[in-house]
Amino acid sequence: MLTVAELFATDTLITAEEREIRDTVAAFTDRRIRPYIAEWFETGSFPVREIAPELGKMGVLGMHLEGYGCAGLPATAYGLACQELEAADSGLRSLVSVQGSLAMTAIHKYGSEEQKNHWLPDMAAGRTLGCFGLTEPDFGSDPGGMRTRARRDGDDWVLNGSKMWITNGSIADIAVVWAKVDVNGKDLVRGFLVPAGTPGFTTREMTRKLSLRASITAELTLADVRLPASAVLPGAEGLSGPLSCLSEARFGIIFGALGAARDCLRATIEYSRTREVFDKPLAAYQLTQAKLADMALELGKGQLLALHLSRLKDRGELTPEQVSAGKLNSTREAIAIARECRTILGANGITLDYPVLRHANNLESVLTYEGTAEVHQLVLGKALTGASAFR
Ligand code: FAD
């Protein structure tokens, strides 16, 4: 029997070092995540404080960043790590994405030397947790409409507003908060580092989620939050600041979502070989095989595309449109695979005894955050036609 990786010979496209990193992350998830993930998902919890230092030790937090205690590894290695993390659970990959690709990337790209030295080494080690506050209750796909504002008061900044759906928002030590400032009568988006416990800064964990349950999501409220002049990220001016961080996180999702799909397909093939219906294994029916073959094709094609895009990124040639194409393809195909796998598992597929519906439910969030599927269709539509259809 062949795995999808063997069918497409994808291992021949990665180096021995990349394979070693991938296998290290896979072994970690086998030991530290898989035995417990169903329970964490069921109870809507995740021991972030316990797991983050272990992720730090493995070098996956800010893995693609150079210096300041970060591993400085190529994009392909980071992508393969994301694939293994998300094969365990999208919540785990979200933790790594938010910490490394969003919060740490914002500081690494746009922070002062002092900010980088102060925050990044502890964040890379998983001792300090970050979150990334862009989305607001009324502005998700259109973050440029944000209402959170920062005004100058002497040397200080004073922030007011609210952020919603912020991963790790209620447990983070440092929040990267994006807010509008007035520059000569014009609004400009700037990034601010808001330490937990700053007076006026409160958070509330969002509950009753049916997706990404093994991940903490929170609302942030900023009521006259006074910050020193040094809290602003000096290098980020305009919406391109947060958007460039999102592009980094989307890249991880291109690989990550396919990890969830791979795990669904693995569990489903295993199940179909032992489950007997009408006196023979489910796997021996043509209808089942057609489904499995089609899913293997989409998974393999997605993985080839992901590897192609990561090589472009390693060469510094990856464009935002290509990231959109990868994010759209991976999330859309992954959720389709997860749902199709669920049909093969029948009633068993709706339980947490199998990973399939957990992954499918998680992928609802993955399809939506970091730019919805529709937003990425619009990005591609604009690139193909030259006409912007966002408004
Ligand atoms: P909306 O923008 O209201 O979109 C609703 C629907 O309208 C979607 O189908 C969308 O595709 C569609 N739509 C939007 N614009 C158009 C258009 N022009 N044409 C056609 N259709 C359109 N945000 C953060 O800042 N930090 C985080 O850490 C974070 N973590 C998250 C974790 C989870 C579990 C979730 C679910 C979300 C998280 N988000 C985070 C927020 C996420 O980025 C937003 O949910 C996402 O950007 C979509 O915004 P929205 O939910 O407001 O949907």
178 lines ligand 1 (CB under 6 A): no
Return phi, psi of residue 148, to 5°. Answer: -65, 130
134 lines ligand 1 (CB under 6 A): yes
179 CA distance to ligand 1 centroid (A)? 18
Atom of ligand 1 lying closest to residue 135 CA: 25
Mutational test site, ligand 1, from 192, 368, 379, 390, max ligand atoms within 8 Å of CB: 368
pLDDT (tens digit per residue) in 372-391 = 999 999 999 999 999 999 99
What pTM value is reported for the model? 0.98
Domains of the chain: 4-129 (1.10.540.10), 131-239 (2.40.110.10), 241-385 (1.20.140.10)
Tally Cβ neighbours within 10 Å of residue 253: 29
Question: What is the rounded distance in angstroms from the CA atom of residue 71 to the CA atom of residue 201?
Answer: 32
pLDDT at 378: 98
Task: Give me the torsion for CA of 301, 303, 308, 312, rounded to 10°.
Answer: 140
Question: What is the rounded distance in angstroms from the CA atom of residue 161 to the CA atom of residue 60?
Answer: 32
230 CA distance to ligand 1 centroid (A)? 31
Return phi, psi of residue 292, to 5°. Answer: -65, -40
**Rg of the chain in Å (alpha carbons):** 21
* Active site members: 370
Could you write out the DSSP letters of every residue in 286-312? HHHHHHHHHHHHHHHHHHHHHHHHHHH
Atom of ligand 1 lying closest to residue 98 CA: 28
Return phi, psi of residue 219, to 5°. Answer: -105, 140
71 CA distance to ligand 1 centroid (A)? 31
Tally Cβ neighbours within 10 Å of residue 226: 14
pLDDT at 347: 98
Low-confidence stretches of the chain (pLDDT < 50) are none
Question: What is the rounded distance in angstroms from the CA atom of residue 344 to the CA atom of residue 373?
Answer: 26
381 lines ligand 1 (CB under 6 A): no
166 lines ligand 1 (CB under 6 A): yes
Question: What is the rounded distance in angstroms from the CA atom of residue 373 to the CA atom of residue 365?
Answer: 11
Say if residues 362 and 211 touch (Cβ distance below 8 Å): yes
In 3D, which of 149, 143, 105, 109 has the Cα closest to residue 123? 105
pLDDT (tens digit per residue) in 342-368 = 999 999 999 999 999 999 999 999 999
pLDDT at 183: 96
